[in-house]
Amino acid sequence: MLSRKRTIGLALCFLSINIFLIYRLMDIQLISTKSFSKNKVNLIQESVNQRTHRFTINDGRGYFLDRNGELLSTDVKPQVVVFPNLYSSKWPVATIGNILKIPAEDIDKMIGQLKKPSALTLQKELSLEQMNEINKLEIFGLYAQLITRRKPIPFANHIIGAVGEDPELIKRKYGDKLAKGTVTTSTKTGKNGMQYTFDPFLISEGETQYIYHVDRQGHPLLGLDVKYRSQTNPLYPLYVKTTIDKKMQETVEKVLDAHGLKDGGAVLLDIESSELLALASRPLFTSKTIYNHGNNMTSLQIPGSVFKIVTAAAAIEENKVQNEKKYDCSLNIYGEKDERQLGFLNVEDSFAQSCNRTFGELANELNVTNPGFIEKYAEKMGLLHNNGWHGDVYHLDSFSHFYQEELGQIFSPKKNNAHYQSALAVSQTAIGQLDVKITPLAVANMMATVARGGIRYEVKTAKSVNFANGTQLVEFEDHKVEDQKLSSYTMMRLQSFLLNVVKNERGTGHALQELPFQVAGKSGTAQKGEGNNYNNKWFAGYFPAEQPRFALVVVDLKHDKMNRTIPVFRDIANDIMSDSN
């Protein structure tokens, strides 16, 4: 009896297992073929992928051109693509060798080492003529093609940005495209920089590939040709025509590295239009540190004496600048002896020699009659706003050219207003210390605004988004900022102040006198607080001063005893002017 019960129990157990296995097999083969398991795996597609050998010619993602039409984010090179499992003794290897100027046995060896469809590694770049000769041979399994590859560490690292896989972002942002099958969860998206902000225009609508199907053992399926598959829409991929000048960007990168500026960067703007010509931030990011090293040029930094431009503008506008009045610059803002011992200086010379005492006293005079003037004038100078181009574009609301641009602050949101009411707090704020933080991008745009006489524009990084045939999809028009202008007299006096920083023999920018053109600008040194071994060092200016064309800001966030900012500014300005004349 017991034995019979065990037999029945075992039979039921085996029956349950068989039913489960049959159901599982049906689920795999018939029911969940397009959405298997919690990961929603398309089993049919995966089966096809296992039986498919492919070589990607272009990933289908849009790309960036500089203002002169040169590629920025990708390389396009003619290469020879080989499907090694189709290689046979019938191939005219000697003829291929003659075209490529390589011994036939070397070609044999290269192909023999390939495990999957690949481009041959050639010592010399293939010419377009050689590419055409290869294709005239009409060899099944060997093709010469222009191959597009993304640069591993992108040029203009922080402004262009990088791409990578982000399945959750695809599901969240491109659910409609995912449902239609135009993208997959493995489609690459922008991770930062313009790759992120312009991602809706750039995301791939399908790759361009050579495809060949094989059997279970990996042998070619007879009768099937290698197929060339491309996007169905000939107007894609789109491309972004940026405002960046590739040659100027290379100059900025080269000079920063030559002077060993490892934490900081530089921003270069075209003064006529406020278009971004070059932007470089240090340290560079890699694929592993993409979120560890943000863009220092669009992040908040302590400005130090660069902020005296705001205090000077307020004093001029409020008629507090008296040329004959002098301030005791042998003292600092604490009333203690200043180590530089500058003596008695008027406002303009105090600005040139960066006397803190003068601007502390001016700020307290202004604060009596106009409380809150510092924030008011910082806003007028554009330091508290988004300086990058933003607006509604196409079907995108609040589209921004810059990735995660931060807004400037005068006061810490964590402290109440009473904290800033003392005379010392007013003085510290007026010279760009205490809790003042602004972005180098905002400072660069402020310098361009002053150079133009007060007209302010949002900074553009792109001129347009275009279809593959060159037709414009979106044109980014200039955004002129009309609110809160300062008087033309104030702008004229500020220009004189900035020029005197360099022309004055005791001015903090006098080393720039050696350039063959005049520079107007302002230096800044900002203390980061107790326990910090480094200061922020700035030089912000424009050139040539008599007919301004370029605004440039250089920031060293790990300034030690070596002053790098002025030498970097000098070399960038000199190279830019030499190349643009």
Of 141, 146, 74, 78, which Cα lies nearest the Cα of 114?
A: 141
Report yes or no: 329 and 353 within 8 Å, Cβ to Cβ: yes
Q: Which two three-digit tokens encode residue 299?
A: 């992040």
CA distance 572 to 162: 26
Give yes or no for a contact between 469 and 560, defined as CB atoms under 8 angstroms apart: no
Q: Which helix (H) or strand (E) holds 148?
A: strand 142-150
Nearest-angstrom CA–CA distance, 192 and 348: 42
Cα 96 to the chain's mean position, in Å? 42
- Catalytic site includes residue 305: yes
- Token couple for 197: 């902000």
Pick from 479, 319, 514: which is nearest to 400 by CA? Answer: 479
Whether the Cβ atoms of residue 315 and residue 361 lie closer than 8 Å to each other: no
Cα(38)–Cα(263) distance, integer angstroms: 44
H or E element that contains 242: strand 239-242
SS3 109: helix
What's the rounded Cα separation, in Å, for the pair 559 and 545? 27
The DSSP secondary structure of 416-479, one letter per residue, reads -GGGG-SHHHHHHHHTT-TT-BB-HHHHHHHHHHHHTTS-EEPBBSEEEEE-TTS-EEEE----
H or E stretch covering 377: helix 373-380
Interatomic CA distance for residues 389 and 174, integer angstroms: 24
Q: Report the C-alpha gap between 144 and 78 in whole angstroms.
A: 7
Rg, Å, the chain Cα set:
32
Calculate the dihedral angle through the C-alpha atoms of 179, 183, 184, 190, rounding to the nearest 10 degrees: -130
Task: Give how far Cα 132 sits from Cα of 44, 58, 137, 147, 390, Å.
Answer: 37, 19, 9, 14, 45
H helices within 143-223, ranges in order? 157-160, 167-173, 175-180, 193-197, 199-202
Q: Which of 73, 305, 350, 427 is catalytic?
A: 305
Q: Which one-letter amino acid corresponds to residue 103?
A: P
Cα dihedral 405, 406, 407, 410 sign: negative
Looking at residue 28, the DSSP 8-state letter turns out to be I
Asked if the bond preceding 440 is cis, omega within 30° of 0, the reply is: no
Q: How far apart are CA 423 and CA 441, in angstroms?
A: 30
What are 106's two structure tokens? 């070397």
User: How many angstroms separate the Cα of 154 from the Cα of each of 255, 364, 438, 563?
Assistant: 18, 48, 27, 29
- Alpha-carbon distance of 43 to 374, in angstroms, equals 64
Query: How far is C-alpha 134 from the geometric centre of its chain's CA atoms?
Result: 39
Please give the positions annotated as active site.
305
